[in-house]
Amino acid sequence: MPEIRPTNRLVTRIARKGGAVAAGARAVPEEVPIAFSYGGSTHAVMMGTPQDLEDFAVGFSLTEGIIHSVSEIEAIEVIDAETGIDVQVTLKDEQADALIVRRRHMAGPVGCGLCGIESIEQAVRPVPDLSAVKLKVTADLITEAMSSLNGAQPLHRLTHAVHGAGFYVPGKGLIAVREDVGRHNALDKLAGAVLNSGHRGADGVVVVTSRVSVEMVQKCAILGAGVIAAISAPTALAIDTAEAAGLTLVALVRGEDFDIYTHATRIDTGVSAHVA
């Protein structure tokens, strides 16, 4: 079980129907600067929740194209700093050299979001072709995956202030869940957890408690997952990117109902197609 690190803050509770005002306390998630450093040089600083940081480092390194597999990382060291956390990642020589070359072409500092991006073309970067992913799932599995994720978020249960990302494998259930104040961070942590568990992205379904932006689709595709299911809606660019990548995008999963936006053939709905 991942370490849970909420903190308490004093609040003034207002109960308008009862006309009551009272002092109390609420659990809130921590949010700190998390630096990712490679070869002793800071590459990016993210604002995030300080748990599952080794998974975060692996997933971030993967989805940012710094590595292609976890075997390309020699070591990860998490160092507490005065005002944040420095995650020191040591790469194998070939990957370290490639990152040095990449840094020379960066226009400026990087941060949360699309890290190291210096052009519009890079922001809408090509993603892997997932058309060869053979995974097919039922509608019931999509419903079960989201229901399982909703019940497996201890930090959200305490604070109601973080996003969750889970990986559901048919026949095994929800094998990993990661949480963070940032939805992209939660997905990066999940990607690292999947790689560290020895699974492939193609083995299961990514489920998330957020809307689906293009970055979420890009990260899911880089992980190699053929299906992403979300509790909220996608953006138009996310749909277009998922279509081009061969990724099945399912959204607005609410109970047994959901919308399939792209590559619906991976989902066995159990009903005949009918447009009302």
Tokens 């081009």 correspond to what residue?
Answer: 244
Antiparallel, parallel or unpaired: β 137-138 and 85-91 = unpaired
112: annotated active-site residue: yes
- 161 three-class SS: coil
Alpha carbon distance 51, 37 (integer Å): 17
Cα-based distances in Å from 227 to 5, 33, 57:
30, 31, 23
DSSP count for the chain of H helices, then E strands: 8, 14
Kindly name the residue from 35, 112, 117, 135 that is annotated as catalytic. 112
Question: Angle 183-196/53-63 helices, nearest 10 degrees?
Answer: 100
* Closest by CA position to 52, among listed 144, 151, 147, 166: 166
- Using a 10 angstrom Cβ sphere, with 0-12 exposed, 13-18 middle and 19 or more buried, the burial of residue 107 is exposed
Question: Angle 214-223/53-63 helices, nearest 10 degrees?
Answer: 90
Catalytic residue numbers? 112
